[in-house]
Amino acid sequence: MKKMTCKQLGGPETCDKEFRAETFEEIKEMSMQHGKEMFQKQDQNHLQAMQVMKEKMQDPQEMQIWVEEKRKEFDELAEE
């Protein structure tokens, strides 16, 4: 299992929520699920971070680069 935090996955600086998964796809899914929950709670920190991500996603190429960087980060993590 590998561990990444919400912050590492594009969340706000203030969020240290940890996700554990075997694959990057899984951890990405978990962070998105957490994002949805925070959105429902109208958490201001997450809403702000989401706004930044949304702007990034408008450029598919930039978004792709971001995802690949995070995938690399995940791959380089030590197994727990």
Give backbone dihedrals phi and psi of 18, rounded to 5 degrees, phi first.
-105, 140
Helix or strand holding residue 4 (H, E):
strand 2-5
Near Zn ion by CB under 5 A: residue from 17, 47, 56, 71? 17
For position 11 contacting Zn ion by CB under 5 A, the verdict is yes
Helix or strand holding residue 31 (H, E):
helix 24-40
For position 6 contacting Zn ion by CB under 5 A, the verdict is yes
For position 15 contacting Zn ion by CB under 5 A, the verdict is yes
Q: How many residues bind Zn ion (CB under 5 A)?
A: 4
Please identify, using beta-carbon distances, which residue of 4 and 15 lies nearer to Zn ion: 15
CB-based burial of residue 61 (10 Å sphere; 0-12 exposed, 13-18 middle, 19+ buried)?
A: exposed
For position 27 contacting Zn ion by CB under 5 A, the verdict is no
For position 49 contacting Zn ion by CB under 5 A, the verdict is no
Residues that bind Zn ion (CB under 5 A): 6, 11, 15, 17
